[in-house]
Amino acid sequence: MRQSRKAFELFSMFLTRRPSPQKIKQFLERSQGLPLSYEPIGITRESPRGYQIDEAGSIIGHGEESFARAKQALTNWKQFELGWVELHPPGAPDTKRADHLSNVTVPMLFLSGTRDQFSEGLIGPVVESLGKRATLHLLDTADHSFKVLKRTRTSTEDVFGEAARVTAEWAAQLS
């Protein structure tokens, strides 16, 4: 009974609406030390020095039919399409996710919306630090998903058309 309650608590995080920050914190605290439902094998037995392995497990069925359905589901899986999941919360000052860009030696184009809460105040300095290799184009009134405010957008050009045009012009000047 205790094991099934733990499983229910663990999987109760799969929601269709954004949970409150307090609910997320409670979930993380409750599930932090839960073991996997199977024994680690191979290199998963120990974390390599300097790394922490993030583990999750689930029983999805038994037999060839379950395996075939699971394989199909994983093949078609689109990560984080719940409409509220964020890998990096808006307004977070951390730019570690961009650290690897200093090692990129080819030209880079960044398209960002002027209402993109995920890059607001962060993308400009990152692009600037990359020098001439990096170009930033801001899409007027677009958010992180390039959704625009139609009433206040100054351009009559469709935002995706603008993104495509800017990308084509940028790519043409490379050759």
* pLDDT tens digits in sequence order for the chain, 175 residues long: 455 455 444 444 456 667 788 887 887 788 777 776 667 666 666 766 776 666 666 665 677 887 787 777 766 666 555 555 555 666 666 667 788 888 888 899 999 998 888 777 788 888 999 999 999 999 988 888 888 888 888 877 888 889 899 999 998 888 7
97: left (phi over 0), alpha (psi -120 to 50) or beta: alpha
Measured in degrees and rounded to the nearest 5, phi and psi for residue 134 equal: -115, 140
* 68 and 123 housed in the same domain: no
66 and 115 together in one domain? no
* 106 Cβ neighbours under 8 A, 6+ residues apart: 133
* Residue 151 and residue 103 share a domain: yes
Long-range contacts of 95-99 (CB under 8 A, 24+ apart): 95/122, 95/125, 95/126, 98/122, 98/126
Residue 11: give the domain boundaries: 2-76
- What pLDDT, on a 0 to 100 scale, did the predictor assign at position 14? 55
Within this chain, do residues 63 and 114 fall inside the same structural domain, yes or no? no
Q: What is the pLDDT of residue 128?
A: 92
pLDDT on residue 1: 44
Does 162 fall in a domain? yes
pLDDT for 130: 93
- Helix-helix angle 21-31:2-11, to 10 degrees: 140
Establish if 19 belongs to a structural domain.
yes
CA distance 155 to 161: 11
Kindly report the number of other CB atoms within 10 A of residue 145's CB atom.
9
b (16+ CB within 10 A) / e for 148-158: beeeebeeeee
pLDDT for the residue 136: 94
pLDDT the model gives residue 59: 65
In Å, how far from its chain's centre is CA 142?
A: 18
Gap between the Cα atoms of 173 and 175, Å rounded: 6
103 and 64 in a single domain? The answer is: no
Residues 107 and 147 in one domain: yes
Say how far apart CA 104 and CA 82 lie, in whole Å: 31
Beta bridge partners of 108: 134
